[in-house]
Amino acid sequence: MSKDASTRNMDIRHLPETDRELIWHPYTQMKDFEAMSLLFVDRARGVYLYDLDGKRYFDTISSWWCITHGHNHPVIMERIRRQLERLDQVHFAGTTHRGPIELARRLKALLPGRLSKFFFSDNGSTAVEVALKMSFQYWKNLAVDGRELFVSLERGYHGDTLGTMSLGGVPAFEGPFSKLTFDSLRVPAPYCYRCPAGQERYDPVLGRRCNLECFDILERNVRQHARKVCAVVVEPLLMGAGGMVVYPEEYLVRLRGLCDRVGAHLVFDEVATGFGRTGKMFAFEHAGVAPDFLCLSKGITGGALPLAVTVTSRDVFRAFYAEYTEGKTFFHGHTFTANPICSAAALGSLDVFEKEKVLQSLPRKVEFLQEEKKRLLDVPLVGDVRGIGMVAAFELVGDRKKRTPLDPGLRAGWQVYLKGLERGLILRPLSDVIYLFLPLCTTTEQISRLLDRTADTIRQVASMIGY
Ligand SMILES: Cc1ncc(COP(=O)(O)O)c(C=O)c1O
- In a 13 Å sphere around the CA of 260, the CA atoms on its Cβ side amount to 9
Cα of 406 vs centre of ligand 1, distance in Å, is 27
- Within-domain flag for 17: no
371 shares a domain with 348: no
Residues with CB under 6 A from ligand 1: 123-125, 128, 157-159, 235, 240-241, 269, 271-272, 297
Last residue of a domain, one of 355, 371, 405: 355
Q: How many CB atoms lie within 10 A of CB 21?
A: 13
Q: Ligand 1: which residue has its CA nearest to atom 10?
A: 124
Model pTM score: 0.96
**What are the pLDDT tens digits along the chain (467 aa)?**
345 555 555 688 888 889 999 999 999 999 999 989 999 999 999 999 999 999 999 999 999 999 999 999 999 999 999 999 999 999 999 999 999 999 999 999 999 999 999 999 999 999 999 999 999 999 999 999 999 999 999 999 999 999 999 999 999 999 999 999 999 999 999 999 999 998 876 555 565 678 899 999 999 999 999 999 999 999 999 999 999 999 999 999 999 999 999 999 999 999 999 999 999 999 999 999 999 999 999 999 999 999 999 999 999 999 999 999 999 999 999 999 999 999 999 999 999 999 999 999 999 999 999 999 999 999 999 999 999 999 999 999 999 999 999 999 999 999 999 999 999 999 999 999 999 999 999 999 999 999 999 999 999 999 999 99
Cα of 271 vs centre of ligand 1, distance in Å, is 6
3-class DSSP assignment, residue 86: coil
The single residue of 11, 27, 53, 324 carrying the catalytic annotation is 27
138 is catalytic: no
3-class DSSP assignment, residue 40: coil
Which atom of ligand 1 approaches the CA of 298 most closely?
A: 10
Domain count for the chain:
2
CA 394 to centroid of chain Cα atoms: 17
Q: CA-CA distances (angstroms) from residue 92 to 83, 105, 140, 304, 317?
A: 17, 17, 25, 21, 17
Cα of 65 vs centre of ligand 1, distance in Å, is 9
- Within-domain flag for 33: no
Q: What CATH number should be reported for the domain holding residue 139?
A: 3.40.640.10
Q: How many CB atoms lie within 10 A of CB 116?
A: 16
The single residue of 157, 191, 202, 251 carrying the catalytic annotation is 157
- Within-domain flag for 64: yes
Cα of 197 vs centre of ligand 1, distance in Å, is 28
Which atom of ligand 1 approaches the CA of 235 most closely?
A: 1
E strand or H helix at 363: helix 358-372
Q: What CATH number should be reported for the domain holding residue 394?
A: 3.90.1150.10
Backbone angles phi, psi at 118, to 5 degrees: -115, 120
- Within-domain flag for 204: yes
220 shares a domain with 125: yes
**Residue 446 is part of which domain span?**
39-69+359-464
Q: Ligand 1: which residue has its CA nearest to atom 7?
A: 124
Cα of 390 vs centre of ligand 1, distance in Å, is 18
Which atom of ligand 1 approaches the CA of 126 most closely?
A: 11
- Within-domain flag for 100: yes
Q: How far is 132 from 165, CA to CA, in rounded Å?
A: 12
- Within-domain flag for 8: no
- Within-domain flag for 375: yes
